[in-house]
Chains A and B, each alone.
Chain A
Amino acid sequence: MAIPPRSVQIPSVAETALLSFTTSRRCASMERPIADFSSRIIHGLHAAKPISLTKRVLIAKATKDRGPFENSAMDTLDLALVPASGFISRYAASEPRKGSDILVEALEREGVTDVFAYPGGASMEIHQALTRSKIIKNVLCRHEQGEVFAAEGYARASGKVGVCIATSGPGATNLVTGLADAMLDSTPIVAITGQVPRRMIGTDAFQETPIVEVTRSITKHNYLVMHIEDIPRVIREAFYLAASGRPGPVLVDIPKDIQQQMAVPDWSHPMRLQTYQERLPKPPEQAELQHILYVISRSKKPVIYCGGGCINASEELKEFVDLTGIPVTTTLMGLGVFPSSDHRCLNMLGMHGTVYANYAIDKADLLLAFGVRFDDRVTGKLESFARHATIVHVDVDSAEIGKNKPVHISLFADVCLALQGINNLIKARSLTYDFSSWLDELNAQKKKWPLTYPDLADEICPQYAIELLHKVTKGAVIITTGVGQHQMWAAQWFKYERPRQWLSSGGLGSMGFGLPAALGAAVAIPGCPVIDIDGDGSFLMNIQELAPISLLQLPVKVVILNNQHLGMVVQWEDRFYKGNRAHTYLGDPRAENSIFPDFCKMAEGFKLPSSRVCRKHDLQAAYKKMLETPGPYLLDVIVPHQEHVLPMIPTGGSFKDIITEGDGRKKY
């Protein structure tokens, strides 16, 4: 099944130069053979590595026969909306058309092919216009929260900007959780909402909410379009803001009378983001990179602490580690950025990270922080986090550098370019490093404190369930999760080899993320199986998204680690509140031996094949059946609720407070 070349999210002016470049990049990343467990994984996971906007423009400049580090690419960027070569509008140039058609054409010009839209009174015009578009397809989710999480899953899996459209009033407010999630995890999405007609704004009209005011602090930027002439420029700016610098969500609010107004669009209006572009990071100076190399050569115990900011820099990071031999630990958002199978990978660090990763940070004398923000789940007590280390912080957002922890060497730059520059410097000078004694020390810790789980006779241990899933799928799937214990186990026990394989709500931690994100990822990467490892609490929150998954027959497999409880809160209750259950039992208290709700019956209602597995020896066969069934499948895995996620560093704790044993069967 051949996949047509994916149109990459790019500024239109540089498209010709970039298309040829990205095709060659796509070929380069296909060097690994396709896993043979399922012939349905085609190019899915080996799709074009999406390139950050800064890099794309710099590459465009390079192809125009100018050195890539000459001047800031941004201030000479041609801001006019020149139609990309090959873009043919459905309308004649001077033909008046509706505002909603102008909007849809603006989306088409940005390279959008899939949107997640739910109709309503104030956005009907947009849906009518979408039916007239031959390029854009709509995936109808069943709740606006589902559609914004789906847009996020789409953006996280593909690197393109995800688009969701909702109506005014309740439709727009249902987007709020997803926008906050995209803000905290820096996911590029554009949310378009309908609004009541301009003269009714501010009158408490039917289904009116001031969504621009409501989402002001949870979006990177937002717009209320008041003139139809602004639509081309605003959409252009929205996509640019969403994708450039530190990505983030952008909301565009369009009143209904503008959607219905007839006008001739002028596509040549330039963007008005001069100062924003001047504030974007410049390519790093050689002197700064040399300074970093100097501290690396002086250190004996360096550690790389990388996160979501390195998602587009995975190859450069791998090359850097090959050249220097420095061990790597990743945050929850950075899982997959460095392959877990590599012996220098220390897996996840932080509150539920591995002992050896936290040990490495605690003992390190040099901390290379690439694309991270020193979040409190990772650092615990700030004063004792990496207390012996010189901290080098490279980030694309200058406000993050030094925000939580003062750093010794800071570099405000795109991580990809910084690593490229460092790699080039190392190769130019043929520098070699030897940290083998430090790696041996860490390997000893790996052997001493591996991740473990108890042997529970015939009950399915959730950690074992995930380990077995990894073995059966050979890791060649995209994983999405909800939030809670299952999320932490999925992070610890499933091994991620490449970026954009792990999609999970990190900063906001919103339950109900798993299923819609799996939908979005399946739409973004057709043919690639997506497995949603969910909990019974999280799954129930957006269960309505089984409808589009079933109707589109997307290869989304749902594995519910069903312990009938709100697992993570139960763990905290066990440890710190003497096991007092406060509204954390999700089953039927009158029938504690039965499973409530019956997810298999609900799946049947959505016309989904499903099954339940309770015994350990049945699990492998159940997985096999799940993976061999084409299309969607739901597997309800019954696990005990007494399991705890370990290791654990309590909040505000340091490495010496780490807890490695115990579960719900013991009293604290």
Chain B
Amino acid sequence: MNVTSTPESDEETSRSGSWLVDGGLPSPSYELPSKGDVYPVEPNEDEVWRFPVLDPDWGQVEDDEPSGFRSHTLSMLVNDAPGVLNRVTGVFARRGYNIQSLAVGPAEKPGISRITTVVPGTDESIKKLLTQILKVIDVLKVQDLTHIPFAERELVLIKIAASSKERRDILDVAAIFRAKTVDLSDHSITLEMTGDLEKAAALQRLLQQYGIVEVARTGRVALVRESGVNTKYLGTQELVNKFI
């Protein structure tokens, strides 16, 4: 049995001439909690819509933000039927959730598609989102991959402005990242690279100085790791220290 006690006291109410049940008289500047609106008005209404959709700056909401607000990776299986994607993204729009990336493609069985999406939010709000998505008739299964080990990849095609002088340097960078060249012209190079978010961000940062003409990203695709190994921690110093 919980008791969240609040400072309001429960004194006996008296039926005086005033129109407030607790017997108080309305003060001249009586402020209603809602400021007299049909809906309660909050001072920070724009916070809800603060985060950008499809953030172009490779922005992944940082994992260690104190409010617990982070990017969640969701994987869902849906029936392959016209309009299903519209239905699912409609739930996001209706309930006020942003989509940072979206990737759709056929899944294991014919007639079923897999949608992988990255959505910023707290654990609580994403849990509520999942219950709303499950109400869509065509959705078969939804899973939040964020807290379990998962493998994620993204395909990036980058077109960089490159004259023949810079070509060698760019191809060196590409070789280090194991990116392939898919197109070449006298003024540009197009590279293809697959990798996780950090690798893609690193490549783009390095190539920025040459001048990026166009970027096409597929968005994150992810599957659960059956091995259970969480690669996020593999490269950290702590683990290294453990073995020293």
User: Which positions in A face B, CB cutoff 8 Å?
Assistant: 212-213, 216-217, 220-221, 224, 241, 273, 275-276, 279, 295, 298-299, 355, 363, 365-366, 376, 381, 384, 387-388, 390, 397-399, 402-403, 408, 448-449, 572, 575-577, 650-662
Contact with A along B64-91 (1 / 0, CB 8 A): 0000000000000000000100110011
Residues of chain A within 8 A (CB-CB) of B37 are 576, 651
**Given contacts A656-B8, A662-B19, are A650 and B33 in contact (CB under 8 A)?**
yes
| A–B pairs, 7, beta carbons within 8 Å | A275-B140, A384-B8, A387-B6, A399-B128, A399-B132, A650-B34, A660-B19
A650 touches B137 (CB 8 A): no
Most buried by B among A241, A651, A654, A655: A651
Are B4 and A387 in contact, CB atoms less than 8 angstroms apart? yes
- Residues on B with C-beta less than 8 A from A659 are 19-21
A273 to B10 Cα, complex, angstroms? 52
Any chain A CB within 8 A of the CB of B134?
yes
Tell whether, in the assembled complex, residue A650 and residue B83 are in contact, meaning their CB atoms are under 8 Å apart.
no
Closest residue of A by beta carbon distance from B26: A668
Contact of A651 among B2, B3, B22, B34 (CB under 8 A): B34
Which single residue of chain A is at the shortest CB-CB distance from B83? Answer: A212
User: Considering the complex of A and B, which 7 residue pairs feature the smallest CB-CB distances, nearest first?
Assistant: A652-B40, A576-B36, A652-B34, A399-B131, A651-B34, A661-B19, A652-B33
Give the residue name and chain of the B residue nearest to A656 (CB).
Answer: B22
Name the distance in Å between A18's Cβ and chain B's nearest Cβ.
25
Please state if B33 and A273 are interface contacts (CB–CB under 8 Å).
no
Instruction: Enumerate chain B residues within 8 angstroms of A449, measured Cβ to Cβ.
Output: 21
Give the Cβ gap from A218 to chain B, nearest Cβ, in Å.
10
Q: By the criterion CB–CB under 8 Å, are A279 and B134 in contact?
A: yes
Q: Is B135 an interface residue (CB 8 A)?
A: yes
B10, B15, B39, B137 — which one has the most chain A CB atoms within 10 A of its CB? B137
Among B36, B39, B87, which residue has its beta carbon within 8 angstroms of that of A575? B36
- Which of chain A's residues have a CB closer than 8 A to the CB of B91? 217
Q: Mark B1-35, 1 if CB is under 8 A from A, else 0.
A: 11111101010010101111110000000001110
In the complex, residue of chain A having the shortest beta-carbon distance to the beta carbon of B128: A403
Q: Which of A295, A398, A408, A650 contacts B36 (CB 8 A)?
A: A650
B134→A384 contact, CB < 8 A: no
Assess the B1–A390 pair: CB atoms within 8 A.
yes
Beyond A213-B86, A660-B19, is A650–B131 a contact (Cβ under 8 Å)? Answer: no
Minimum distance in angstroms from B113 CB to a CB of chain A? 14
Whether A381 lies near B1 (C-beta < 8 A) is: no
**B206 interface hit (Cβ, 8 Å):** no
Q: List the B side residues contacting A656 at CB < 8 Å.
A: 8, 21-22
Q: Which chain B residues border A661 with CB–CB below 8 Å?
A: 17-19
Chain A residues closer than 8 Å to B139, beta-carbon distance: 275
- The CA of A216 and the CA of B138, in the complex, are separated in Å by 13
**CA separation between A387 and B132, bound complex, in Å?**
26
Task: Please give, as numbers and ranges, the residues of chain A lying within 8 Å of B32 by CB-CB distance.
Answer: 576, 650, 652-653, 657
